[in-house]
């Protein structure tokens, strides 16, 4: 499991926050792998799958920002 270090625009993360960040990273990887599998199905609309991927990535980024509470815009 990769170690997530606080960026300069983030406060020092607590152990609970670090655990949440790592869990979000793991969940994001799991979801990404699932979407990769869906892309192999010829009946899947790849345009909508790309939209789903983009929105899910944005959601995971928002969740990580909610945990890290960066001071930068």
Q: What's the whole-model pTM score?
A: 0.80
In the predicted model, is pLDDT for residue 3 greater than 90?
no
pLDDT score, position 6 = 55
pLDDT score, position 10 = 60
User: How far, in Å, CA of 12 to CA of 69, rounded?
Assistant: 10
The pLDDT-based confidence of 2 (bands split at 50, 70, 90) is: low
Q: pLDDT (tens digit, 9 = 90+) per residue, 15-59?
A: 999 999 999 999 999 999 999 999 999 999 999 999 999 999 999
pLDDT score, position 5 = 65
User: How far, in Å, CA of 41 to CA of 34, rounded?
Assistant: 12
């Amino acid at each position: 499991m990769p170690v997530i270090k606080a960026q300069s625009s983030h406060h020092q993360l607590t152990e609970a926050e670090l655990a949440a960040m790592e869990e979000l990273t793991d969940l994001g990887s799991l979801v990404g792998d699932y979407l990769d599998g869906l892309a192999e199905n010829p009946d899947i609309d790849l345009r909508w799958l790309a939209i789903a991927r983009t929105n899910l990535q944005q959601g995971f980024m928002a969740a990580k920002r909610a945990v890290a509470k960066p001071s930068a815009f």
